[in-house]
Structure 1
């Protein structure tokens, strides 16, 4: 089960309504995509207090063959045509906890952590925070970078100021 995300940073004066319209008009195209557990269409907006404008969709795939199909059979070409060459961050989901209310998510909190060098990893503890009103949590690690990231999904914007909070504009479920 692979995870993927690409982060498209946009100019500070970029009209984010362009991205919102793109998602509104095309987000449904990944609804029920084969072997996609979910795709979260995520953005940050400088006008809403974020440091940057960005478009950063997050995908959780049930099979790597379906991710390969998405990347190499023309679907990712829409991103290349619109935004140019993008690096796709690939990770391994360690934990995927989705509640029955997951589809009501409107915000996603992103928290990065380093996995520092150590003599063994047998008892390594992935730090997570349990939030009272969370609708889902996904923990993804990347041994190539020795990092992991917690994505926590909410209906209401969490009161956290020192981490990235995305607006979730559309949630495609497989």
Structure 2
């Protein structure tokens, strides 16, 4: 599994209904994308759930590098780049994935938490702890799914979870889920991935 995200931080007075309209028009285009586990079309609005910014920030879990590369180089990503400029795309190697206690529920909220891997702790210990956290999040009331991944170029962990409703179990940046494309969700590898 590979995780990927880009963030488009929008002006404070930006009409976020423009993003909602865009997702309503094009969100379905990835509903059957080869190699894609999930794409969560995410939006933060300034002043909502503690967000300091308006931000469109889709989050992906890929089953294959080929699917991810096909998205980035094969034209689908170009439309976004043409409209907003080419954003920096963050990538993380998968650590763990779990379906949630409410796996069949509608994902309405996403929570993303990024944190540095401490220099004074063995990476294996941190990764094991991150894997345990995925299980804890997935077991929460209203949890649809949870995942963890690591960027070794920055030694940064990311925890990502989807929820039916705002969950006190998850800490981090809170996003609205505008659409969820999940063509390969059923084949995302569950559990620890190392």
TM-score where L is the length of structure 1: 0.91
Structure whose residues are more often helix by fraction: 2
Q: Give the direction of change, closer, same or farther, for the CA distance of 1:139–1:162 in structure 2 (3 Å limit).
A: closer
Equivalent pair of 2:112/2:159 in contact (CA under 8 Å) = yes
1:161, distance to aligned residue in structure 2 (A): 10
Q: Which residue of structure 2 lines up, in the alignment, with residue 62 of structure 1?
A: 63
Equivalent pair of 2:16/2:45 in contact (CA under 8 Å) = yes
1:135, distance to aligned residue in structure 2 (A): 1.7
Q: Which residue of structure 1 lines up, in the alignment, with residue 33 of structure 2?
A: 33
Secondary structure, aligned partner of 2:129 = coil
Tell me, in whole angstroms, the C-alpha distance in 2 between the residues paired with 1:47 and 1:89: 25
In the TM superposition, 1:1-174 aligns within 5 A as 1-49=1-49, 50-99=51-100, 101-102=103-104, 104-118=106-120, 120-124=122-126, 125-127=128-130, 128=133, 129-130=136-137, 131-159=140-168, 163-174=172-183
Tell me, in whole angstroms, the C-alpha distance in 2 between the residues paired with 1:73 and 1:40: 20
Tell me, in whole angstroms, the C-alpha distance in 2 between the residues paired with 1:148 and 1:120: 14
Tell me, in whole angstroms, the C-alpha distance in 1 between the residues paired with 2:88 and 2:3: 14
1:107, distance to aligned residue in structure 2 (A): 0.3
Secondary structure, aligned partner of 1:123 = helix
Q: Which moved more, 1:64-73 or 1:119-128?
A: 119-128
Tell me, in whole angstroms, the C-alpha distance in 2 between the residues paired with 1:134 and 1:161: 10
Tell me, in whole angstroms, the C-alpha distance in 1 between the residues paired with 2:142 and 2:73: 38
TM-score where L is the length of structure 2: 0.82
1:33, distance to aligned residue in structure 2 (A): 0.5
Q: Give the direction of change, closer, same or farther, for the CA distance of 1:39–1:161 in structure 2 (3 Å limit).
A: closer
Tell me, in whole angstroms, the C-alpha distance in 1 between the residues paired with 2:143 and 2:69: 31
Q: Give the direction of change, closer, same or farther, for the CA distance of 1:53–1:160 in structure 2 (3 Å limit).
A: farther
Q: How many matched pairs?
A: 174
Aligned CA-pair RMSD: 2.0
1:121, distance to aligned residue in structure 2 (A): 2.9
Structure 2: stretches of 5+ with no match in the other structure: 184-194
